[in-house]
Amino acid sequence: MQSTNIKRKKRLRNILFISFMICFLLIVRVGTIQFIQGSELQAMAYSQQTLNRKINPKRGTIYDSTGKNILAVSASVETISVTPNNIKEEDKEKVARAMSDIFELDYETVLKKVNKNSSIETIVKKVEKEDADKLRIWMKENNIITGINIDEDTKRYYPYATLASHIIGFTGSDNQGLEGIESRYDDILKGSTGKILKLTDATGTDLGEEGEDYISAVDGNDLILSIDMTIQSIAEKYLKEACIDNKCTDGGNIIITNPKTGDILAMAGYPNYDLNNPYQINTDELSYVWDSLSSSEKSTELQQMWRNKAISDTYEPGSVFKLVTASTALEEGLTDTDNQGEFSCTGSINIAGTRIKCWRYYRPHGSQSLRQALMNSCNPVFIGLRSKNRSREIL
Ligand SMILES: [Zn+2]
């Protein structure tokens, strides 16, 4: 009798001990979840329960120096996405068919996205409002009110297409600046993105109106360049003519500055490219061989096409510097513009034992005034001008 009592007591103690251990382990587990993994799990739950759709801000406009001519502007377009779990199973094929018809997309690809088990799938970016309206009408007619999102977006347009292309640059599919001013001043132009936050359950299904939160986008700032559109177009027109006439295979550049302020009024590069289609090749030679190039060669060629050579490449000024020598000589009163026969070109000149040739050594320029020497870009005359200054220093 007594031994059964002892046995029962022993069993009770064991059960008590096991229960205590289980309780203890559970408390430890709860503590870990609450205090150690708490914030991480909360963030995971938040991202699962909220459906985050972006509202893109309107990017700032780029104007020329007059403040009137628009060089780059953003227009409103729309981006279409779906929340697959909010589309009824029996409607899925119908939705995919309608979307592929309206936006001219591949049906199978759209269907795959509509059937995906994810909270949001982008169907097509940057569509015109009239196409998005077709979808709105279709949704109404077919009584489909959830699962399809039509969100405001913007698209960049360059009204003058190729004008000042190397200066302005262009943007990518997420409206981010990729080249030129668009890239350099991206922070000023881009603005800040807004959000539509929706509370959903674990499958991405809406939890009703009260869970919706709308944070509006802040538009970007405008930019006014020192470039004057009229001067820029004249520079581009004559640069193109000169490059074609003189068969400049490397292209050419012109920079026009305001001598009083140093402002750059025009910066032309040839060949330029179409800012509205920045991935389209700009020369015939290149488009013939384009398909045979590897992807890294293509990328190099595109970089080359977008490059603003006027400020990115080094160039030996050479004869351009004759302007500086001539201006200095005039300012110092060493010569005048039209002193007939003041200088003479014999095809070359000796400087410290080295013979420096005129570019037209085979038929020397002969008697020259400063104006003629500049027009002919005659080397011996300008070297002579320098020694004229030297002799004055010695006197
Ligand atoms: Zn000469």
- Enumerate residues 6+ apart whose C-beta is below 8 A from 30: none
What is each CA distance from 390 to 282, 308, 349, 387, in whole angstroms?
A: 50, 39, 16, 5
DSSP 277-338: STTS---HHHHHHGGGS-HHHHHHHHHHHH--HHHHS----GGGGHHHHHHHHHHTTS--TT
Of 94, 93, 108, 107, the residue nearest 138 (C-alpha)? 94
* pLDDT > 60? residue 255: yes
The mean-pLDDT minimum among 141-145, 175-179, 289-293, 344-348 falls in 141-145
pLDDT of residue 395: 44
What value, to the nearest 5°, has the Cα angle with vertex 66 and ends 62 and 68?
Answer: 60
- How far, in Å, from the CA of 347 to the mean position of ligand 1? 6
- How far, in Å, from the CA of 318 to the mean position of ligand 1? 15
Residue 244 has phi, psi (to 5 degrees) of -70, -45
pLDDT of residue 189: 95
pLDDT of residue 106: 94
- How far, in Å, from the CA of 339 to the mean position of ligand 1? 16
- How far, in Å, from the CA of 350 to the mean position of ligand 1? 13
pLDDT of residue 232: 97
CB hemisphere CA count around 110 (13 angstroms): 22
Three-state DSSP class for 102? helix
- How far, in Å, from the CA of 137 to the mean position of ligand 1? 76
pLDDT of residue 390: 53
Three-state DSSP class for 186? helix
Beta pairing, strands 62-63 & 223-224: parallel
- How far, in Å, from the CA of 308 to the mean position of ligand 1? 33
- How far, in Å, from the CA of 389 to the mean position of ligand 1? 19
DSSP state of 273: -
- How far, in Å, from the CA of 131 to the mean position of ligand 1? 66
- How far, in Å, from the CA of 68 to the mean position of ligand 1? 47
What is the tens place of the pLDDT at every residue in 284-314? 888 899 999 999 999 999 999 999 999 998 8
What is each CA distance from 39 to 8, 50, 139, 286, in whole angstroms?
A: 47, 16, 40, 56
* pLDDT > 80? residue 114: yes
Mean pLDDT, the chain, rounded, equals: 88
- How far, in Å, from the CA of 254 to the mean position of ligand 1? 25
DSSP state of 164: T
